[in-house]
Amino acid sequence: MSYLLHIDSSSLGAGSVSRQVADSFRAEWQGPVVHRDLAASPVPHLTAAGISARFTDPAQHAPEQAKAAAIQDELIEEFLGAGAYLFTVPMYNYSMPSVFKAWLDQIMVAGRTLDFTNGSPAAVRPAVVISARGGGYGPGAPNHGLDYVVPALETILGHSHTLGLDVTTVTPELTLAPHTPAMAPLIPLHEASLASAHEQAQQLARRAAERAAA
């Protein structure tokens, strides 16, 4: 079995609900794991040197291009070597943490992880996104339509013209309810959402392990 690549981007550490649900996934996963914690060790944002290095003969790389290319090579090889993926990406200010966007920008390279004719070499591999959020964003909620994390990630990670992964998203909601007096009436809904998220994560881990082993 190839490994599970777990990319963490929550800044909250052990107190992160996204990380706690990811722990439930990891507890059920049977096999090796490569864990990259972007909050603890962020990757650089993409620079002009990193972009230009992609279109320049490596023998002609300037020092800053060579350094940028080495970072991209490491991240891309790590990404392509995985058989399944776990992404811990909480909602921050209606969007994804900047460290996760930086990682995406480093690994999304035409001719390597992207192939606009034949599809990505990682296409159809199982991927789970865990994205906790402080409020509620489902149909009927006041914030419905303001989730700019999940739709973006389902496109970036899962569209056939991008990475083409088989993406399933788990979204524990109302995580601020236990800490915000005005949201106290929503605590039961939060607890139900959290319990469901842990159960989903466990089920998805078992399915992903079976597929990665096939």
- Report the distance separating Cα 210 and Cα 214, nearest Å: 6
Whole-model pTM?
0.95
Q: How far is CA 49 from CA 52, 61, 62, 99, in A?
A: 5, 9, 9, 19
Closest CA to 83 of 121, 28, 40: 121
6 membership: H or E segment, kind and range: strand 4-8
Spatial separation of the C-alpha atoms in residues 32 and 2, rounded to whole Å: 7
pLDDT of residue 60: 97
Identity of the amino acid at 48: A
Domain 4-213 has CATH 3.40.50.360: yes
Q: What is the pLDDT of residue 213?
A: 78
- What is the pLDDT confidence band of residue 1, given thresholds at 50, 70 and 90? low
- Please report the beta strands in 100-187, taking only residues with DSSP state E, as ranges in sequence order: 126-130, 166-170
**Interval 166-195 mean pLDDT:** 97
pLDDT at residue 2 in the model: 85
Please compute the mean of the pLDDT values over residues 2-18 and round it to a whole number: 95
What is the reported pLDDT for 210? Answer: 87
Report pLDDT for 107: 98
Residue 91: predicted pLDDT: 97
**Contact assessment for residue 195 and residue 201, using Cβ atoms and an 8 Å cutoff:** no
